Amino acid sequence: MERSVNHEQQLLEKARDRSAVIGIVGLGYVGLPLAMEMARAGYQVLGFDISRRAVDGINAGRSHVKDVPSDQLGRFVKAGTIAATTDLSRTKEPDLIAITVPTPLSKTRDPDVSYIVAATDSVARTLRPGQAIVLESTTYPGTTRDLMLPVLAKGGLKVGVDFFAAFSPERVDPGNPTFNTRNTPKIVGGVTAACTRVVTAIYEPAIDTLVPVASPEAAELVKLLENTFRSVNIGLVNEMAIVCDKLGVDVWEVIDAAATKPFGYMKFTPGPGVGGHCIPLDPHYLAWKMRSLNYRTRFIEVAGEINAQMPEYWVTKVVTALNEQGKAARGSQVLVVGVAYKKDIDDLRESPALDVIRLLQRMGAHVSYHDPYVAEVTEDDMRLRSVPLDAATVQGADCVIVVTDHSNTDFAMIGREAKALVDTRHVVPRAPAGR
């Protein structure tokens, strides 16, 4: 095989003069914002997705990701800087390919890496000397080296010489007005030192801060640690909410008072559970991997159990609120305010609101919901449409439960008009004493 060409040097030069072509496999909430930043940095971007609807929309300048405005995307598309395709045979064209596909859990809560496997197989079929492959999808430690690398190298190309492979975890926080793809520091762990140098150099014009680590395993663990940290602390504060409830103490007062300590404490707040792709799933990836090594991650598992039981805890509060009116859950009208997994986004993945709705429906309650970002919920056998949020809607409900604290929701009106209220987010203004 011809080894006289210095592919590392070629890619470093393409990074310097922005002549590298960037390929992104998976154009969702991670891939499309990354495509935008690469295009802003001066690269040509070719996106890949199996969804014809998403690809056609992008090529028409229409964004399906809330954090990517269509007018900005349209300018890049019109300039020919960003294009999208469903033709995975074209993965031979880019110099760097970032894989940003979903990594859900299976029904048995085991990692489902089928999307990574499919993307890797597609890339391997067209892999040529002088390409860099970067996995960004959250996964368990060892995926890059043990799952991807053998497939990529089966054609005889040598990693770190002919092609370059690394893991660089996505750290996207959908809806965050402060931190985005560009200004969130990016971890890069290459299979070899040359892999890290190449990938870091190509990302550098698009990302403010690059953080190289010694291996893909270290990079994989960084992402899992970040979200396991959040899961464990959310689990702790959720349990504290239950403790305070049983002791007759206001948990929010306790949290706010604790947060006055200027050191040794980080404020977390309780809620209806955890949602999104990262916090409910990432700790399971780490726990699954450690079980294969005959180690039980007890801390992680307990936090997951507590967070998973929070929808049931809050539904019990709804039942109690109805009982205080002399009403049973069966036949009562319950209004759920907010179904996205967090404020000011339209993402339903793993949203605790869906569990709240299901639990209430199983009790025989008639459930409706309002969410300004989610017009319709079609999850499994659930078929609901968002209702207007006005005084008549609130007054018509026997109980209102606030699950998601969207900024544009009139919580003061809800507090005035609701017959009974369960506020999982502590956002409804409290009624004056003596009401």
Residue 424 · residue 271 · CB < 8 Å: yes
Distance between CA atoms of 333 and 331, rounded to whole angstroms? Answer: 7
Q: What is the DSSP letter of 386?
A: B
Characterize 20-55 residue by residue with b for buried, 16 or more Cβ atoms within 10 angstroms of its Cβ, and e for exposed. Answer: bbbbbbbbbbbbbbbbbbbbbbebbbbbbbbeeebb
171-176 long-range contacts, Cβ below 8 Å, gap at least 24? 171/223, 171/226, 172/29, 172/30, 172/33, 172/67, 174/29, 174/66, 174/67, 174/276, 174/342, 174/345, 174/347, 175/66, 175/67, 175/342, 175/343, 175/344, 175/345
Q: Which residues contact 378 (CB under 8 A, 6 or more apart)?
A: none
The identity of residue 240, as a single letter, is M
Backbone torsion region of residue 399, taken as left when φ is above 0, otherwise alpha when ψ lies between -120 and 50, otherwise beta? beta
Q: Give the β-pairing of 131-135 and 163-167.
A: parallel
Distance between CA atoms of 65 and 63, rounded to whole angstroms? Answer: 5
Distance between CA atoms of 313 and 323, rounded to whole angstroms? Answer: 15
Distance between CA atoms of 94 and 164, rounded to whole angstroms? Answer: 13
Residue 331 · residue 325 · CB < 8 Å: no
Let me know if 195 is a catalytic residue.
no
Distance between CA atoms of 42 and 36, rounded to whole angstroms? Answer: 10
Distance between CA atoms of 11 and 19, rounded to whole angstroms? Answer: 9
The active-site residue, picked from 195, 244, 278, 399, is: 278
Q: Give the β-pairing of 163-167 and 186-190.
A: antiparallel
Phi, psi dihedrals of residue 325, rounded to the nearest 5°: -95, 0
- How far does Cα 23 stand from its chain's mean position? 21
Distance between CA atoms of 295 and 34, rounded to whole angstroms? Answer: 36
Distance between CA atoms of 158 and 175, rounded to whole angstroms? Answer: 40
Nearest CA-CA partner of 401 in 327, 315, 331:
315
Catalytic sites, residue numbers: 278
